[in-house]
A and B are shown apart, each in its own frame.
Chain A
Amino acid sequence: MSEVNSNPASALKRPGRTLLARVADASFWMSRYMERAEHIARILMISGDVLTGAGDLDRLFALEVAGDVLRITQRDHMFPALATADRNPLEVMAAVANYMTLDENNPNSLLHCLAKARENARSIRESISAEMWEHINTFYWTMKSEDARRRFEDVPQEFYRQFMMGSFLFQGLTDQTMEHGQVWLFIQLSKYIERVDMTCRILLAKFATLARVDSSLVASLRTIQWMAVLRTCCSIEAYRRCNLGDLEPSRIANFIIFDPNFPRSIHFCVKQALASVDQIRSGLTADAGREAQRRLGRLFAEVQYSQVAGDMYESLFDFLGRTRTGIAEAAAAIQEQWFMRAIDPNGWRSWSTSSL
């Protein structure tokens, strides 16, 4: 217990409000699902747009674009069922979009992600701000309302935009209405981890697809396809401001991965995730989180000092693969050291006696 306080200001502030491991866990997943929904909405939006606007594409290539959506979200086993022979590419895309948007049995559908985000938020609503909760709750009910399917089928692009705006508003409210303490840091941490993971997946899928057809595409289509990669990573405007001229695959990859100042780049996200872990650790006396810090630190060093060169595609795929593994290991370490370990009653004496 703390000593009797003579300083009235600090007497009012409770010494070190602690954070329940379960609350940290739920805030982490709330934020992660929200970020995931935003990415999936954007992927669906851009893919649909590309297929609608690109004129007569080669059927196989068009199907690849639709298939990328499933590959990125790891639902590719659904592709044969959705891309039946009687469907033209646009219809296949519509089927994929439908599956990825409102299907509650799909663990990566937009609605499922939002439901999970809300469920986690609901379990910790006393730890987040009222504004955040009210937004996520209203957002959920709007997207789940009776006319949601009709609205989606009417104008899918508007539906995706609502999802993305819902996520942006959530981020803004998170920044402006809750204290930037531990819960906030866990929200940031998981947001950046999810963003790194999603960005890696998008780049892996898109670069693989485009590498196969790059030389055979006519110039205008080629530009549109590479623009779509940037748009899917929410990066096109920032890229244009930094790079004049043609869209070069290697410059695109370098920008999305290595740009130090753009909040969608892998460099930026890993740096922020690491900073969050550092800050969470500095607020705690216990030794937990060292492993997460080590893994993120190593990943950051790798991102800082790597380059995509030589055989561009080979070195890119190699780098993205390692980054995905690295970020997954960091996430596992966070889970294990902050959320799970505290639940093991035999393991706690050794590392937390200082706080007793």
Chain B
Amino acid sequence: MFERYQIDGLFDEMFERPGAARPHYAGLHERIRDLGIEAIKHRSAMADACFRNQGVTFTVYKDALGVEKIFPFDVLPRIIPADEWAVIEKGLVQRITALNLFCHDIYHQQHILREKIIAPDMIYNAKMFRRQMLGINVPRGIYISICGTDLIRDQNGDYLVLEDNCRTPSGVSYVLENRAIMKRIFPAVFQAAHVRPIEDYPHNLLRCLRHLAPPDMSDPCMVVLTPGMHNSAYYEHSFLARQMGLELVEGRDLLVDDNYVYMRTTAGMRRVDVIYRRIDDDFIDPLCFRPDSLLGVAGIMNAYRMGRVALANAVGVGIADDKAIYPYVSDLIRFYLKQDPILKSVPTYICAREDDKNYVLEHLHELVVKSTNEAGGYGMLMGHQATQTEREQFAAKIKADPRNFIAQPVVQISQHPSIIGNQIEGRRIDLRPYILCGSSISVMPGGLTRVALTRGSLVVNSSQGGGSKDTWVLEGQAE
């Protein structure tokens, strides 16, 4: 099965060198060979049928309504040993702590600007900076309750942060569904591996939301706010509402009266205290942001500003995952926490800086250029794979609006064995762990491992044809 497996000079998660599995993969490697490709493919087909029947889907925007698709699932799990995970976990906790302090600072005293760590125009020109939030105190001072941070591994196997998703990170439902399926189709393999459980995530999320309600309220009404059925991540919204036992509401289910938020029920209006919103700032209040939005709730920002409803995540957190702020996060950690960053970042050129911009324009063919305000793999240029015309078009865009672009060298991210047709081949992967910030900070052991199913592709986004796999963080000695 692995006879023709190629490592190609990359960092391979499973193999140290051809044929030699890393110690933490040894058990799995052996099991896969015992099972044989037919048995694995059979189980993989079972998993696909399960996903389809349960409607575990995401929507790809092709036409007005979009097409429901199954998130391709690769049954070979990714394994992370306990000691590696311990470092990642510490690094992520450090990062979300700094980012929360940063958000609070930006919308209050702005020490970071006064100390000239970041130039004011980087903040004030950011599309995700929300003037409306200046001087507003959010519940418990927590801006980012839920964060999904994308990690990659470079050719040396070092974990690097690729980006932080502080607004409405999605994918956690697939993590939980992938795990449920893996336990069903590979019970023996799973059991033998001693994997840390993740099933308490919805419970932790609920506690995290509860933390934002007024402390004296005995039974706060908490809801999940979705843009609706046609949203790409609708499945996840519904899944989380179900798992937490909360109502899933759409904008049209809510209204604001006298600066309180209510939901329309068959028994009349019921006050809502905490909203886990899966709608971007832009769409959440037509009176405050995009006036053409039908997804949000008119007047909710005033209720929010008056502290009568809590939103998770807070409005304005987009400033923290702006791709042009990303290169400063290490500085933020040093500034706010007086610590050295535990996780490394990818070297980044900020086109808003004249020198960087010139460098980027001259080296487009070896850089990945990203639009600072887009996600999901949209609006980016893979310089080394693009055509001359594409590069020229992108260069024009960069010159027109440099603040909107950053560039990074191409990182040859690590690969992992995947089932491809009748054999096993290496495919590039990344990792998105989920971090919850409530009365304490908890990191889900593992997270969403996304895999670029096209050979040689570095883009793992589901909207660009990526798949996912289960992520196993192994149990280790308690520290």
Contact = CB atoms under 8 A, between A and B. Distances in A.
Interface string B423-453: 0000000000000000000000000000000
Nearest to A125: B238
A22 B53 CA distance: 25
Nearest to B246: A126
A168 B335 CA distance: 65
Given A2-B219, A345-B255, A280 B266 contact: yes
Where chain B touches its partner, the secondary structure class is mixed
A39 to B, nearest CB: 26
A352 B219 CA distance: 20
B266 A182 contact: yes
Given A20-B247, A134-B53, A138-B53, A284 B252 contact: no
A95 interface: no
B54 A137 contact: yes
Interface in A129-159: 130, 133-134, 137-138, 141
Contacts of B53: 134, 137-138, 141
A24 B263 CA distance: 13
Given A2-B219, A14-B219, A22-B264, A355 B55 contact: no
B386 interface: no
Contacts of A5: 218
Given A20-B247, A20-B249, A137-B53, A122 B267 contact: no
A1 B229 contact: no
Given A1-B217, A14-B219, A356-B271, A342 B266 contact: yes
Contacts of A280: 266
Choose among A20, A141, A352, A354 the residue with the greatest number of B CB atoms under 10 Å from its CB. Answer: A20
A19 interface: yes
A19 B265 contact: yes
Nearest to A348: B269
Interface residues of A, number: 44
A7 interface: no
A186 to B, nearest CB: 8
Interface in B204-257: 217-219, 228-229, 238-239, 241-242, 247-250, 252-253, 255, 257
B255 A19 contact: no
Given A4-B218, A22-B253, A126-B241, A352 B266 contact: no
Given A1-B218, A126-B241, A137-B54, A343 B266 contact: no
Interface string A323-356: 0000000000000001000110100100111111
B268 interface: yes
A348 B268 contact: yes
B266 A338 contact: yes
Given A2-B218, A125-B242, A137-B55, A18 B266 contact: yes
Interface string A10-52: 0000111011111110000000000000000000000000000
A24 B265 CA distance: 8
A19 B223 CA distance: 12
Contact of A15 (B219, B263, B264, B266): B219
Contact of A356 (B238, B241, B242, B269): B269
Contacts of B249: 20
A125 B265 CA distance: 17
A18 B270 contact: yes
A103 to B, nearest CB: 20
A133 B52 CA distance: 12
Nearest to B50: A134
A94 B68 CA distance: 32
Contacts of B266: 18-21, 24, 182, 280, 284, 286, 288, 338, 342
A123 interface: yes
Contacts of A348: 264, 268-269
A285 interface: yes
Choose among B218, B248, B252, B268 the residue with the greatest number of A CB atoms under 10 Å from its CB. Answer: B268
Given A20-B247, A20-B249, A22-B253, A133 B263 contact: no
Nearest to B237: A126
Nearest to B298: A345
Nearest to B241: A126
Contacts of B270: 18, 355
Contact of B257 (A18, A133, A342, A345): A345
Where chain A touches its partner, the secondary structure class is helix
Nearest to B247: A20
Nearest to B54: A134
Nearest to B257: A345
B267 A18 contact: yes
Nearest to B240: A126
B252 A343 contact: yes
Interface string B262-286: 0111111111000000000000000
Nearest to B265: A18
A355 B255 CA distance: 16
Given A21-B253, A352-B267, A122 B219 contact: no
Contacts of A351: 268
Nearest to A128: B242
Nearest to A4: B218
A264 B271 CA distance: 41
B205 to A, nearest CB: 14
B267 A286 contact: yes
Contacts of B228: 123
Interface string A292-312: 000000000000000000000
A22 B250 contact: yes
A115 B283 CA distance: 29
A52 B137 CA distance: 75
B267 A20 contact: no
Contacts of B253: 20-22
Contacts of A16: 267
B366 to A, nearest CB: 45
B246 to A, nearest CB: 8
B229 A123 contact: yes
A20 B268 CA distance: 9
Contact of B252 (A2, A22, A141): A22
B278 to A, nearest CB: 13
5 contacts: A133-B54, A134-B53, A285-B267, A343-B264, A348-B269
What are the nearest 5 A-B pairs in CB distance?
A: A352-B268, A18-B265, A342-B264, A126-B242, A284-B267
Interface of B: 52-55, 217-219, 228-229, 238-239, 241-242, 247-250, 252-253, 255, 257, 263-271
Interface of A: 1-2, 4-5, 14-16, 18-24, 119, 122-123, 125-127, 130, 133-134, 137-138, 141, 182, 280, 283-286, 288, 338, 342-343, 345, 348, 351-356
Given A284-B267, A286-B268, 11 more contacts: A18-B247, A21-B264, A123-B228, A125-B242, A137-B55, A141-B53, A342-B264, A342-B265, A343-B264, A348-B268, A355-B269
